[in-house]
């Protein structure tokens, strides 16, 4: 047994751990997590997940017990069997190891000596906890989202495509922020609901300078990156809201883009995009893979999804906003069951 992970039941650590909310889960953490909405300590607040320090580094599972390795542009992490029953070891080389219990109810963390508290929180909040939430049966995607009226719009794109920049620009323009990365999607009756894993916005320094008329308060994200967290005042839990549409940030073309275009994609392409941008822990688990495909397919059939191409220039962002808002106002009418009718693929150019 890995020292320090399963030594106490969750109920026994409530008094010495701080309570936070991640999505709709109450998390008891031995480390302060100021980016998460706090939960007042009271008898009814029973944590669903406990985060504890490991008393010693977790043993290497051995070459035959490694399950999956992610490429560098996806974090460069490795997943293996932890030696604790069916638990997992999620390793970030030279940064930290996380031992996750079989059902995602306990996490043990061992940070490397040079890992800063900000880096440990970044790995925990933006890599580990979303995968644990997905392992517990949720559909969690790499996406940013803001509120437009009573609905939300979401932005999906590979690392470096600018989803945090586009999300942050809507926030700077006065829209309510859900998150810049880490959204839970759920199909409920006639609608797709979206909720943040936690409210977050992480931007490059030049993006902050080019986007905000008045610079917001910033904090380090991780010691190995110059990205900064925008400090959000009065961080609170946000209830899920209806999702109006998803916008896929297309790859930068070889030639300079002359204008802005929105092209509605097929449900098949939308489904593939949702799956390829989803958080997963054990990617070899066929049962969870089947559930992920079912959930993504259902949402892709119900929700309008657009490919978005625009010049990567701060000056053009107001026009991008207007194009998206125009499409949002002209979205297809709902049918008798309250679902949006999805028509043939179409392109809107400005």
Instruction: Give the integer Cα–Cα distance in Å for 56 and 78.
Output: 19
63: DSSP letter: G
Residue whose structure tokens are 């323009």: 173
| Domain assignments of the chain as residue spans, ordered by start | 10-136, 141-349
The residues near 318 (Cβ < 8 Å, ≥ 6 apart) are 173
Under the banding of pLDDT at 50, 70 and 90, the label for residue 255 is low
Average of per-residue pLDDT across 44-64: 88
Residue 159: pLDDT band by 50, 70, 90 thresholds?
confident
Average pLDDT score, the chain: 86
Rounded to whole angstroms, the Cα distance separating 16 from 43 reads: 14
Burial of 247 (0-12, 13-18, 19+ CB in 10 A): buried
Reported as a pLDDT band with limits 50, 70 and 90, residue 262 is very high
The residue among 336 and 18 whose pLDDT is bigger is 18
What one-character-per-residue DSSP string does 226-248 give?
Answer: --EEEPPSS------EEEEEEEE
According to CATH, the topology of domain 141-349 is: Rossmann fold (3.40.50)
- The answer on pLDDT for 237 being more than 80 is no
């Amino acid at each position: 047994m890995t020292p320090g992970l399963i030594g106490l039941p969750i109920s026994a650590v409530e008094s010495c751990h701080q309570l936070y909310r991640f999505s709709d889960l109450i998390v008891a953490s031995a480390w302060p997590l100021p980016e998460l909405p706090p939960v007042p300590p009271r008898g009814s607040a029973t944590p669903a997940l406990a985060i504890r320090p490991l008393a010693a580094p977790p043993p290497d599972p051995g070459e035959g017990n490694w399950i999956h390795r992610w490429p560098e542009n996806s974090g460069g992490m490795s997943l293996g069997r932890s030696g604790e029953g069916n638990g997992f070891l999620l390793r970030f080389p030279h940064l930290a190891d996380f031992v996750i219990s079989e059902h995602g109810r306990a996490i043990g963390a061992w940070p490397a000596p040079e890992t800063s508290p900000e880096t440990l929180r970044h790995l925990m909040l933006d890599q580990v906890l979303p995968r644990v939430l997905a392992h517990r049966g949720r559909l969690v995607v790499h996406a940013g989202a803001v509120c437009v009226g009573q609905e939300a719009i979401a932005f999906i794109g590979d690392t470096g495509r600018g989803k945090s920049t586009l999300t942050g620009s809507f926030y700077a323009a006065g829209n309510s922020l859900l998150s810049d990365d880490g959204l839970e999607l759920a199909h409920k009756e006639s609608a797709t609901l979206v909720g943040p894993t936690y409210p977050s916005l992480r931007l490059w320094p030049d993006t902050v300078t080019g986007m905000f008329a008045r610079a917001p308060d910033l904090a380090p994200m991780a010691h190995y990156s110059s990205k900064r967290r925008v400090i959000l005042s009065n961080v609170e839990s946000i209830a899920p809201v209806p999702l109006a549409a998803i916008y896929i940030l297309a790859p930068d073309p070889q030639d300079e883009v002359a204008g802005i275009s929105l092209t509605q994609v097929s449900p098949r392409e939308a489904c593939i995009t949702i799956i390829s941008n989803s958080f997963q822990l054990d990617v070899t688990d066929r049962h969870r893979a089947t559930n992920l495909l079912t959930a993504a397919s259902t949402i892709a059939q119900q929700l309008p999804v657009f490919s978005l191409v625009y010049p990567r220039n701060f000056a053009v962002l107001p026009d991008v906003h207007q194009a998206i808002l125009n499409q949002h106002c002209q979205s297809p009418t709902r049918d008798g069951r309250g679902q949006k009718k999805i028509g043939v693929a179409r392109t809107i150019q400005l």
